[in-house]
């Protein structure tokens, strides 16, 4: 679901970075849609072009156009070369601040500051809660067992500053399996909800804060919950 919804934000010719975790599946969706030659994927390990691998093979790519040295690729990111950055996260707060680096008091990991600061668009791809179990039945999402909140009152460490992003007008989207948020000047705005999901019980009560609810709140595109196959990305690309 997350990969399909994020893939709907792609456009022909886009230069896209994929982070580890849920964002990895965007390349799989794009490949299955038959538009992989129209998207230029990059991975911070060096590959540009081709189809990025995922899972335990993350960091490699099938048939890349070029493999660059990492410092040179980071210069490209810092220079604003990315049209879209699809990134994961550990937790986010009401202002769109993201923690993607601090796991606990004693465990930290390298962040994605170079990738995120100057990307033209950012899509954070994440499960809504940690460890949840969901089913899709007749095109509707059902929460079988919920997990611990990822949208919290305050993040443990700010790896991405939402207020700064909003102030400079950087478009930021948070895509989950049950809701989609966009970043506004006053914080996170709930703009889409999955079919079958109860707004109060499955979304608002599972957050550490109450987001702004868009007056135009709508359902996430039904096509991403269907088993019919394509989500229509090739048709959309051809129309452009």
Residue 6, SS3 per DSSP: helix
Q: In Å, what is the CA distance from 135 to each residue of 132, 215, 218?
A: 10, 28, 21
Instruction: List the catalytic residues.
Output: 44
DSSP-assigned letter for residue 199: I
Residue 218, SS3 per DSSP: strand
- Sign of the alpha-carbon dihedral angle for 214, 217, 221, 226: positive
Count Cβ atoms within 10 A of the Cβ of residue 136 and give its class: 0-12 exposed, 13-18 middle, 19 or more buried.
middle
Ramachandran angles phi, psi of 23, nearest 5°: -60, -25
Q: Which of 216, 18, 235 is nearest to 3 (CA)?
A: 18
Q: Is 198:228 a contact under the CB 8 Å cutoff? A: no
Q: Which of 76, 136, 98, 96 is nearest to 21 (CA)?
A: 98
Tokens of 210: 């109450």
Q: Which of 11, 8, 45 is nearest to 26 (CA)?
A: 8
Tokens of 207: 């957050």
């Amino acid at each position: 679901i997350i990969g399909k919804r994020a893939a709907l934000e792609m456009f022909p010719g886009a230069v896209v970075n994929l982070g580890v975790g849920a964002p990895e599946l965007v390349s799989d969706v794009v490949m299955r849609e038959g538009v992989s030659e129209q998207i230029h994927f990059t991975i911070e390990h060096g590959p540009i072009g081709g189809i990025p691998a995922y899972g335990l093979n993350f960091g490699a790519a099938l048939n890349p156009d070029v493999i660059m040295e990492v410092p040179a690729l980071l210069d490209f990111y810092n220079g604003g070369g990315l049209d879209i950055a699809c990134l994961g996260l550990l937790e986010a707060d009401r202002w769109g601040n993201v923690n993607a680096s601090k796991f606990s008091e004693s465990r930290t990991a390298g962040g994605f500051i170079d990738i995120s600061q100057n990307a033209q668009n950012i899509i954070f791809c994440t499960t809504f809660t940690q460890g949840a179990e969901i089913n899709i039945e007749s095109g509707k999402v059902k929460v079988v067992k919920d997990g611990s909140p990822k949208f919290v009152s305050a993040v443990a460490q700010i790896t991405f500053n939402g207020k700064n992003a909003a102030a400079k007008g950087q478009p930021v989207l948070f895509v989950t399996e049950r809701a989609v948020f966009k970043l506004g000047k006053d914080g996170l705005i709930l703009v889409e909800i999955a079919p079958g999901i109860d707004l109060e019980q499955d979304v608002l009560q599972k957050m550490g804060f109450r987001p702004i609810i868009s007056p135009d709140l709508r359902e996430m595109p039904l096509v991403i919950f269907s088993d019919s196959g394509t989500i229509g990305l090739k048709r959309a690309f051809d129309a452009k």
